[in-house]
A and B are shown apart, each in its own frame.
Chain A
Amino acid sequence: MAEAAAPPAAAATATNYEVDLGNLMAYDPSHHLPAASSSREELRKECLRKGTELAQAVADALFALPATEDRDGPMVRLPPPTTRLPREKHLPRPKPPTKWEQFAKMKGITKHKKNKREWDEQTQTWKRTYGYDRVNDDKDIPIIEAKATDEPGVDPFAQRREEKKKRVDKQEKNRLENLKKAAKVGALPSHIQLAATALPITGTKADIPKKSRKKDLEDVAGMASSATASGGKFDEKLPGEKPPKNPGKHRQFLPVVEGKGMGNKEKQQNDKILNALLSKSSEDQMDVGRAITMYKVKKEKQRRKDKEKSSSSNKLKPQKKSLKKSSKKKA
Chain B
Amino acid sequence: MVAIRAPKSHRAKRELLKHAPKLVETGKKTLVLHGTKTSAVLNSVLADLFHLKRDNAVKYSKKNENIRPFESGGETSLEFFSLKTDCSLIVYGSHSKKRPNNLVLGRTYDHHIYDLVEVGVENYKSIESYVYDKKLAPKLGSKPFFAFIGEHFESVEELKHLKEVLLDLFKGEVVENLNLAGVDRVFVCTAISPTTVYLMHCALRLKRSGTSIPRMELVEVGPSMDLVVRRHRHPAESLKKEAMKTANHAKKMKNVTKDPVQGKLGKVYIPDQQIAKMALSNDIKGLKRERREAKKNKEHSKKQKTNVE
Interface residues of A (CB under 8 A from B): 3, 6, 23-33, 40, 43-44, 47-48, 50-52, 54-56, 58-60, 62-64, 67, 70, 72-78, 83-92, 175-176, 179-180, 189-200
Contacts and interface: CB of A to CB of B under 8 A. Distances in A.
Contact of A87 (B12, B148, B151, B245): B245
B95 to A, nearest CB: 23
Contacts of B22: 89, 92
Question: Which 5 pairs, one residue from A and one from B, show the smallest C-beta to C-beta distance?
Answer: A73-B181, A51-B188, A54-B147, A86-B243, A190-B20
Nearest to B242: A90
Contacts of B188: 47-48, 50-51, 54
A47 B22 CA distance: 39
Nearest to B148: A27
Nearest to B108: A88
Interface string B218-245: 1010001000000000010000101111
A60 to B, nearest CB: 6
A200 B220 CA distance: 65
A83 B182 contact: no
A58 B236 CA distance: 33
B149 A83 contact: no
Contact of A190 (B17, B148, B247): B17
Interface in B100-114: 107-111, 114
B61 interface: no
Question: For chain B, which range describes its interface: under 10, 10 to 19, 20 to 34, or 35 or more residues?
Answer: 35 or more
Given A189-B20, A190-B20, A47 B149 contact: yes
Contacts of A48: 188, 200, 202, 218, 220
Contacts of B43: none
A60 B213 contact: yes
Given A29-B154, A75-B180, A200 B1 contact: yes
A51 B147 contact: yes
Contact of A75 (B3, B149, B178): B178
Nearest to B240: A86
A91 B23 contact: yes
B256 interface: no
B243 A33 contact: no
B149 A78 contact: no
A59 B209 CA distance: 12
Contact of A197 (B3, B218, B247): B3
Given A47-B198, A52-B217, A87-B245, A73 B179 contact: yes
B110 A89 contact: yes
B58 to A, nearest CB: 14
B293 to A, nearest CB: 32
Contact of B179 (A59, A70, A83, A92): A70
Interface stretch (B66-74, B133-141, B167-175, B299-307): B167-175
B79 to A, nearest CB: 13
B107 to A, nearest CB: 7
Given A55-B204, A73-B182, A83-B164, A195 B148 contact: no
B143 A24 contact: yes
B97 interface: no
A84 B245 CA distance: 10
B55 interface: no
Interface string B254-290: 0000000000000000000000000000000000000
B5 A194 contact: yes
Contacts of A64: 213
A91 B109 contact: no
Contacts of A194: 2-5
Contacts of A190: 16-17, 19-21
B216 interface: yes
B17 A62 contact: no
Given A23-B167, A77-B176, A84-B244, A192 B5 contact: yes
Contacts of B5: 192-195
A26 B146 contact: yes
B123 interface: yes
A43 B150 CA distance: 13
B112 to A, nearest CB: 11
A86, A175, A192, A198: most-surrounded residue (chain B CB, <10 A): A86
A26 B147 contact: yes
B23 A23 contact: no
B146 A74 contact: no
A183 to B, nearest CB: 9
A63 B183 CA distance: 11
Contact of A28 (B2, B148, B192, B218): B148
Contacts of B242: 90
Nearest to B247: A91
B149 A23 contact: no
B1 A197 contact: yes
B75 to A, nearest CB: 17
B129 interface: no
A76 B180 contact: yes
Given A23-B167, A91-B21, 14 more contacts: A25-B146, A26-B145, A33-B190, A51-B190, A52-B216, A55-B186, A56-B215, A76-B178, A86-B240, A87-B244, A88-B25, A191-B13, A195-B2, A196-B2
Contacts of A75: 177-180
A89 B17 contact: no
Contacts of B192: 33, 43
B108, B179, B180, B244: most-surrounded residue (chain A CB, <10 A): B180
B308 interface: no
A60 B16 CA distance: 42
B215 A3 contact: yes
Given A29-B151, A176-B4, A195-B2, A55 B218 contact: yes
Contacts of B40: none
